Amino acid sequence: MSLGDKLEAAWQRRAPLRDAPDTNAYRLLNRAADGFPELAVDRYDDVLVANVYSAGARLRPPAEVLEALAERVGARAVYVKYRPVQASVLDEDARGELAPSAPVLGQAVDRVVVRENGLHFEVRPAEGLSTGLFLDMREARAFVRANAAGQTVLNCFAYTCGFGVAALKGGAARALNLDVSRRHLDWGERNMRLNGFQPVRTDFLAGDVFDWLQRFAKRGQKFDVVIVDPPSYSTTRTTRFSVERDAGRLAALAASVVHSGGTLIACNGGSRFPVMLKMAGYDNLVVLGKSPHPVTLQIDGESPGERRFSGARPGVQDRKPRRLSPWTPARAAQRKSGLPDLRHEN
């Protein structure tokens, strides 16, 4: 297939997204699936961000592909992010070099507000490797929104609070966003405002997820829905984390703050959670939905830790189990509309 044919096929495949009036941020070119193994191009309205993947040395992004895509969407800027395989373990400075702050095409763009299923998000294309919105979580955000009504939601590794916004838009009773970076949480607060919510400062908690999960567990503070979407690797003042090594600990801690009958939604590394939780003694686990990305688990009964400490009271449940429908991308997309648009006022 010629380069032009591959681009045309990728363009046609995105026709439903291109025609959706409430979404203008999505992946335009997806690596091998579209015939470009080293390249993924994200569209944020009229700004493109090209991600160049490589095993070793930096690869030059193919100018003719970027130019052709820019022309098709009428882009005012194209940025490039270099993603060598070791990018996730590099420190901030080294990561900065992988994300030039000037565009390779067009004029510099500081900020663009995009739409995703009618939600609004601030994207900063020149700010580091991550732009503010991970587009591969679109369906997961739609799922959270469709299942959040009346629920208390803890959004761990909240970043710019995409899941928190989705939860409130779906009528959540509360969305508590937890992230080690105050800067990211401030960004999250701006995203809340963009969607008509008045942010409540106490719902944006700056701290380490591991510290706070332990504190919540100690206090007996629980949530109906806990979302866990960690980076593959991170270092904070108090913890060093890698999904590879720490998924088990994270899974058990997160599950311990889910109300009985509540739901744990695990994204990056989440496919390990069911096995890890069984090993940790969660024998009543129901896997509601499983995809290459988020895994949805219903946590039934008390956590094994509580059972030990309270002298085993099997069957005692602190909340009535609430059955969520299984996670499937199609269902999530289907149910995204027609949900109450509640203001967050507590």
Ligand X SMILES: C[S@@+](CC[C@H](N)C(=O)[O-])C[C@H]1O[C@@H](n2cnc3c(N)ncnc32)[C@H](O)[C@@H]1O
Q: Which residues bind ligand X (CB under 6 A)?
A: 134, 137, 157-159, 162-163, 179-181, 184, 208-210, 229, 231, 234, 236, 239, 241
Angle, to 10 degrees, between the axis of helix 162-169 and the axis of helix 182-194? 30
The residue type found at 296 is T
Residue 338 CB contacts under 8 Å (≥ 6 apart), including other chains: none
For the CB of residue 267, give the shortest distance to ligand X in the complex, in Å. Answer: 7
Tokens of 284: 């009543």
Of 84 and 231, CB closest to ligand X: 231
For the CB of residue 286, give the shortest distance to ligand X in the complex, in Å. Answer: 23
Q: b/e for 333-345, b at 16 or more Cβ within 10 A?
A: eebbeeeeebebe
Of 231 and 281, CB closest to ligand X: 231
Of 53 and 134, CB closest to ligand X: 134
Q: What is the DSSP letter of 323?
A: P
Of 79 and 159, CB closest to ligand X: 159
Distance CA 151, CA 170 (A): 9
- Alpha helix locations (H) across the chain? 3-13, 15-19, 63-73, 92-97, 138-146, 162-169, 182-194, 209-219, 243-255, 273-279, 304-309, 329-335
For the CB of residue 132, give the shortest distance to ligand X in the complex, in Å. Answer: 8
Of 139 and 179, CB closest to ligand X: 179
For the CB of residue 117, give the shortest distance to ligand X in the complex, in Å. Answer: 14
Distance CA 163, CA 342 (A): 16
Of 181 and 325, CB closest to ligand X: 181
For the CB of residue 255, give the shortest distance to ligand X in the complex, in Å. Answer: 17
Tokens 């590879």 locate to 244
For the CB of residue 103, give the shortest distance to ligand X in the complex, in Å. Answer: 23
